[in-house]
Amino acid sequence: MSKPVLYYDDISPPVRGVLLTVAALGIKDQVELKLVRLFEREHLLEDFVKLNPLHAVPVLKHDDLVLTDSHAIIMYLCDIFGQDGDFSLKDPKQRARVHNRLCFNNAVLFQRESIVMRGLINRSIVTLEDHHLKPVQEAYDCLEVYLTNSKFVACDQLTVADFPIVACMSTVGMVCPLSTSRWPKTAAWFETMKQLPYYQQANQVGVDKLKERLHAVMKK
């Protein structure tokens, strides 16, 4: 079987969700990485737009299959490389919870994070105000409910649902920090995620790159 090719830039939270999955599955040597520099606008080059008309990363190409959503990529990698339901779970109800949390990230948390972070990067948001942060905080409220009922976001064991969510949380947390008094379960979960042996390389490195860029933009 040929190697899947992952087009990526680790400043992107969705990309980092995939990189965390790759690291957790132990398949770094089985996935080819191709860097697409977002700040250099390489995602707008003609060849890449042909691959993904949405001109966004991540993209996974595996033979004739092209996936352009990070959550679809995550589940596909689990299906072809995971063993005994590693991180994606085989039980239909548990797997459905994983899917539900992935949908929460895709439709709620990432969308709200993206509005704030993109606004700051492109300077359409100059000063953060309560109305910018309230939707993010409401997403935190929802996550707190999930984590009141289980140790991790989908159940009591680590699953792939945790990876894209922590990638988003670590990003928007730069400007909307987790209050341990308002979101104690979420804050504790976040600390647990940071202790994963692959967290630093797969997620924090990209967070730090984005933070550096954000600080540079906000100084202008």
86 belongs to a structural domain: no
The model's pTM is 0.96
pLDDT of residue 107: 98
First to last CA, the chain: 49
Domain closes at, from 33, 61, 81 = 81
Do residues 33 and 96 share a domain? no
118 belongs to a structural domain: yes
Output the CA–CA distances (angstroms, integers) from residue 100 to 11, 95, 97, 131, 183, in the order listed: 25, 9, 5, 27, 21
Tell me the two tokens of residue 3. 């190697």
Tell me the DSSP string of 132-178.
HHHHHHHHHHHHHHHHHHSSSSSSSS--TTHHHHHHHHHHHTTTSPP
87 belongs to a structural domain: no
State what percent of residues in the chain have pLDDT above 90. 92
What is the extent of the structural domain holding 67? Answer: 5-81
DSSP class of residue 39 equals T
Q: Report how many domains make up the chain.
A: 2
Tell me the two tokens of residue 95. 């797997």
pLDDT of residue 207: 99
Of residues 89 and 111, the one with the higher pLDDT is 111
Domain closes at, from 81, 109, 144 = 81
pLDDT of residue 84: 73
Do residues 77 and 108 share a domain? no
Do residues 73 and 107 share a domain? no
Do residues 96 and 185 share a domain? yes
pLDDT of residue 218: 81
pLDDT at 133 over 90: yes
Q: How confident is the model at residue 115 (pLDDT cuts 50, 70, 90)?
A: very high
Do residues 68 and 116 share a domain? no
pLDDT, averaged across the chain: 96
Measured distance CA(156)–CA(163) in Å, rounded: 15
144 belongs to a structural domain: yes
Mean of the pLDDT values across residues 29-58? Answer: 98
129 belongs to a structural domain: yes
Measured distance CA(13)–CA(206) in Å, rounded: 8
Mean pLDDT lowest among 13-22, 35-44, 121-130: 121-130
116 belongs to a structural domain: yes
- Which alpha helices (DSSP H) does the chain contain, by range? 13-25, 46-51, 70-81, 92-104, 110-122, 130-149, 162-172, 184-194, 199, 205-218
Measured distance CA(209)–CA(192) in Å, rounded: 22
Tell me the two tokens of residue 9. 């830039």
pLDDT of residue 219: 78
102 belongs to a structural domain: yes
State what percent of residues in the chain have pLDDT above 70. 99
pLDDT of residue 112: 98
Do residues 26 and 123 share a domain? no
Mean pLDDT lowest among 109-113, 143-147, 216-220: 216-220
pLDDT of residue 89: 83
pLDDT in tens, 1-29: 799 999 999 999 999 999 999 999 999 99
Do residues 28 and 108 share a domain? no
Q: How confident is the model at residue 86 (pLDDT cuts 50, 70, 90)?
A: confident
Question: Domain of 25: which CATH number?
Answer: 3.40.30.10
Of residues 219 and 18, the one with the higher pLDDT is 18
pLDDT at 212 over 90: yes
